[in-house]
Chains A and B, each alone.
Chain A
């Protein structure tokens, strides 16, 4: 069985859209999250495990979260990556399901700067080594880059429209990046082109569609690899 780490933010964690009328926050159980849905579809050949934190970025600290009880680097996906890999080893691959928070925090981020953050994560995954080889884990891991899903209306966040424009602009660049770096590529917007709810968080139906897309992508990627051998 191949273990794959879903390394992500609130949308990997299963953070449901906020109902502003009720003000109630809810977490989807694993089985209903995209990772759980993809894992069930791919079982028993694959198992997807989750390491997710709502608010996590590709690679910037979050001093804006200072009141949330965690150090600002705790939200930095690059700073936290190695510990997440050790916690979840042995792993065959990692899905980098990040970027939404980078876009919302900094919608003016350039394509180059976004790609650099992605590149730093990919480099860090490829360079990752345990002190001794771990049975069941072959280095380097495979990497899947996920271009983020489409944003909807974000009633409480004025950055939403600009973030959505930047996201759309990034899809082609991330696809080319993934090809150049021998990474798998997932365009989440193929499954979730736009969102209702709070405009940022996937609802149950979106998780199901994304889970299906990811399962198909993984199957295709691994089968193509088998054929190439």
Chain B
């Protein structure tokens, strides 16, 4: 027997129409414009690991680009996060990865996206910060293939039908892609130069795909030209710059 949701999608859509008609009825606090940041370690706030110290550090929300963007956007907006270090734009990770308690599919951004949307709706916009791990896992990945993975995520967002037809999720969600940020020299990974070359090649293709398919893009690397000391992970100063850039991009998309 069903539990949890008791309406069929059809009934829920009827409800949507009704609520749209009676829209002035929001007497309570004005609902915030919700934005989901769906990303990898640089949304999680992962800090480079010191080889001697061997501990993990996570920046707090206030220090992460998401928190910086939240402050810049103000109280009418609410940025929520769904981030997992190691997450890809659309491929499982090898299951043999040392120390991971998750199956390889749990890192696949495409597999995980619908659940993340279901957990976080209602949403007006989803900001994607993915793609770097795809390049690090497979340095031979083409720019075309990388852009296609990101485009598939954007299509998934545009077409997402909530498992729970929700009154305040009337409009389809929009997608804003943070182009994969720079990849710098790495001591233990000789693939970084090839990955960085593909990343640079992918940027104009990503812009073109966005125009064609109707998603927005912004260039994270323009705010953070040189990634952290491990070649991947941004420190607090980079997060500040990225957060301010993201806020500008979010405002632009939502005012369109």
Contact = CB atoms under 8 A, between A and B. Distances in A.
Contact of B3 (A74, A82, A100): A100
A51 B15 contact: no
A24 B3 contact: no
B150 to A, nearest CB: 20
A94 to B, nearest CB: 15
Interface residues of B, number: 50
A147 to B, nearest CB: 17
A141 B106 CA distance: 22
Contacts of A129: 101
Contacts of B119: 13, 51-53
Interface in A1-38: 9-10, 13, 15, 18, 22-27, 29, 31
B165 A130 contact: no
A148 B105 CA distance: 32
A24 B19 contact: yes
A27 B163 contact: no
B214 interface: no
B82 A87 contact: yes
Contacts of B19: 22, 24
A53 B117 CA distance: 10
Interface string B11-30: 11011101100000000010
A168 interface: no
B213 to A, nearest CB: 21
Interface in A119-151: 128-136
B74 interface: no
B121 interface: yes
A53 B54 CA distance: 34
Interface residues of A, number: 51
B5 A55 contact: yes
B83 interface: yes
Mostly helix, strand, loop or mixed at chain B's interface?
A: loop
Contacts of B165: 25
B115 A132 contact: no
A22 B82 CA distance: 32
A80 B99 CA distance: 17
B6 interface: yes
Given A24-B18, A134-B58, A55 B167 contact: no
Interface of A: 9-10, 13, 15, 18, 22-27, 29, 31, 51-55, 64-65, 68-71, 74, 80, 82-83, 86-87, 89-90, 100-101, 104-105, 128-136, 156-159, 198, 200
Interface of B: 1-7, 11-12, 14-16, 18-19, 29, 31-32, 44, 49, 54-58, 82-85, 98-102, 106, 111-112, 114-115, 118-119, 121-122, 160-161, 163-168
5 contacts: A25-B7, A64-B1, A100-B3, A131-B98, A132-B99
Given A27-B121, A82-B101, A132-B54, 8 more contacts: A69-B161, A70-B114, A74-B118, A87-B84, A100-B3, A130-B99, A134-B55, A157-B6
Among all A-B residue pairs, the 8 with the closest Cβ atoms:
A131-B99, A104-B3, A55-B4, A68-B163, A23-B15, A24-B15, A134-B56, A24-B167
